[in-house]
Amino acid sequence: MKIVHTIAELRAHLAAFQRPVFVPTMGNLHDGHLALVRQAKPLGDVLVVSIFVNRLQFLPHEDFDTYPRTLEADCQALQAVGCDVVFAPSERELYPEPQVFKVTPPAGLADILEGHFRPGFFTGVCTVVMKLFACVQPRVALFGQKDYQQLMVLRHMVQQFALPIDVIGAPTLRGADGLALSSRNNYLNPAERQEAVHLSQTLTAMAQALRGGATDIVAIEQQAMAALTARGWQPDYMTVRRRADLQWPAAAELATPATLVVLGAAKLGTTRLIDNLEV
């Protein structure tokens, strides 16, 4: 496995390959990331994983400075699952000057849900992913479905810019108790880790209600918010949306719940967790 830190070195190495496959990450890798890498491996002739903590997608009060940087351990884990190239640029390498050109996704998709509670988040995500795409020039890119809205935004970006990249969403990997794997799970203390499973359990209850024919979306959402709040969570949203565009479904669409997704974001202690479940 080759570890490169500059764009020039990356491009020189990849020049010999025809079908790079790419998994972008911010490091601090867990089994969910490694499952993405395993899924990506047979899809191209060289597998590239980037490790870069992207300042542009963090709000001023968020955890950019304290986000875990574990490059040595990440590289060992990646080598064990067959990664070919780790691209780990410094901030100065990827942003040698202020990044004033940015990719701004449409408000109707990017300013709802996560974008409402984290203004500018998806502009930061799209900008860094576009730049990483320019560096790696992949033919295939994999992203986890745990970040459901992010996956949708990036698919639309690739389509709008006619990028020759197949974007693949990989299923969310969960712990034995159902908690979605996330780097931010490391922030949870033991008691919080036990409690954290209630986010996925609440989403499961919402999905079951919809499958059972429930049609009062407002009541479903309010009950879910109240259930988490009663357990000491601070929920931002627990919501029912269309898979196609993440808008609220019309009444007629509730007859086909398989077209829907339930999504949630809530803070447990100081840690904000997100999850989703397709109905």
Q: pLDDT truncated to tens, each residue of the chain (279 aa)?
A: 999 999 999 999 999 999 999 999 999 999 999 999 999 999 999 999 999 999 999 989 898 998 989 999 999 999 999 999 999 999 999 999 999 999 999 999 999 999 999 999 999 999 999 999 999 999 999 999 999 999 999 999 999 999 999 999 999 999 999 999 999 999 999 999 999 999 999 999 999 999 999 999 999 999 999 999 999 999 999 999 999 999 999 988 888 899 999 999 999 999 999 999 999
244: which residues sit within 8 A by CB, 6+ positions away?
259
- Asked whether the whole model's pTM tops 0.85, one would answer yes
Q: Annotated catalytic sites, by residue?
A: 33
**Do strands 85-87 and 46-51 pair parallel, antiparallel, or not at all (unpaired)?**
parallel
**Cα(233)–Cα(80) distance, integer angstroms:** 37
143: which residues sit within 8 A by CB, 6+ positions away?
24, 36, 150, 151, 154, 167, 168, 169, 170
- CA dist 179 → 89, 104, 114, 217, 261 (Å): 31, 31, 19, 24, 17
Are the C-beta atoms of residues 184 and 273 closer than 8 Å to each other? Answer: yes
